[in-house]
Structure 1
Amino acid sequence: MNPLARTIHAAGTAQRSRRVRSDAVFVGVSALCFAASTAATIAGSASMSAMGELPMPGGWTMSRAWMPMCGQTWAGVAASFAGMWVVMMVTMMLPSLMPILWRYREAVGGTRVGRLTVLVSAGYFGVWAMFGIAVFALGVTLAALAMQLPALARAVPVALGMVVLLAGALQFTAWKARHLECCRATRGHCRKLTADARAAWRHGVHLGLHCCHCCAGLTMILLVAGVMDLRAMAVVATAITCERLAPGGERVARVVGAVLVGGGLFLVARSFVTG
């Protein structure tokens, strides 16, 4: 082998070695983030359960996540909810986000791919953080109205059943299918990306917006069941991951929709019987 060939071979070997190390770091950091967020989510759920729930007219209970505890300001409640929400989203969304990030890394390559991957992730979870703030504002408003208007509180069980029914119906729409297709984007969708910070951030925001739209119905279920209910989180996270990663994701979405429609009808019927 001549000197030029040896130099090219050595450069290629060094580049492959750097890529393998970078990929190993990506997998390791992702696993650590998932483990840490899962532990924090479990701790947050236990803390919320210890606070108890407020009995309401109509035979249901309201989470204390929507109201300040003794000595706590509204700003503190909002900050606590936002932090809890982001940690919860990392736990639920990271398994289905990792393959997308992996394809992004393959598309852009280069020595800055680690930092760019962080920016994509920050843009993605930044969108979810904004969504969480909107959820908090809506939840606080509805909780205040339910506490002030007993007639409205008594109608909540029927409304929750209707929300589940609506969430199931959304799973069958072309709107859902379009956003799910974007979340299941194939390798070719990433080839036009450029390796710069602005493009990485925008790509993360783009992914986050599609994900929020795609998960709108399933997020409703999470809020109906209880924002920090571990069982609800596990079920919703499993449904989201299967939609994104399993072959025939649209069929999975429709199966989930059928289950939700059935559950919604059951909840509505039960509310009339027990009411």
Structure 2
Amino acid sequence: MTARILDGRAVSAAILDRVRREVAEFTGEHGRTPTLATVLVGDDPASHTYVRMKANRCAQVGMHSRRIELDAAIGTETLVGRIRELSADPDVDGILLQHPVPGHIDERAAFEAIDPAKDVDGVTRASFAMMAFDEGGFRSATPGGIMALLDAYDVPLPGRHAVVVGRSPILGRPVGMLLLARDATVTYCHSRTAGLADRVAEADVLVAAAGRPGLIRGEWIKPGAVVIDAGYAGNTGDVEYAAAAERASYITPVPGGVGPMTIATLLAQTIRAARDHQTRRVVSVP
């Protein structure tokens, strides 16, 4: 068996085409351009690359990207204050705080300064709760992108055993909740799980999100399993790709799988936030 590729580049391109049409329609109807504010703290080269990629995608779909760069030496209070200003700014529809921030900053406090109505990256507690209870809100961008990718290939989820390796609040935990909402039976694992190989071998659907390159060996994969590799370090994911591809039915490449879906989901949620924002503006007019 050789796995079929879950092509995030192709699926994300289709999503971005739809977003481009929605942005043009919104701009024509309301006379303003949807705006995503990106906040970057410090000089981490990878973070600068990610923010630049997001700005380029915004330009491609006709969306405005407002980039806020802050010195690495700022404190939590300064960052929280800047994000609250963006939350209150009527010209901003979505806010992205690039992760990670420098270690001396309380990242959770910074995330919670984002207005949930503008939390298009799905990082606040409010967004997680609404997602977990299936009450709307914005999905964490990478988990939302993973679900969209599975849907694009008609991967069945009800009744299947999904194993998530990773427990971060913006990836591992929320993707497990989204899978559970689709009637999968979900097991959470992590790098310290005893007998990790045995747990992985039980997975009909595996989401590798530990951020540990090569953690999951190819021979652990259940024949016919669907493998989603959300790890990324250079061009290496969490899964031993070549060996896993010989056993899986579907697999994401690294790069070109989950990564493009994250940005597409972010922008799809930004145009949705802009529409919601515009509706609230109209309702608030006396």
TM-score normalised by the shorter chain: which range applies? Answer: under 0.3
Quick check: which one's helix share is greater?
A: 1
Q: Which has the larger radius of gyration?
A: 1
Normalising by structure 2, we get a TM-score of 0.21
Higher relative contact order (CA 8 A, sep 6+): 1
Normalising by structure 1, we get a TM-score of 0.22
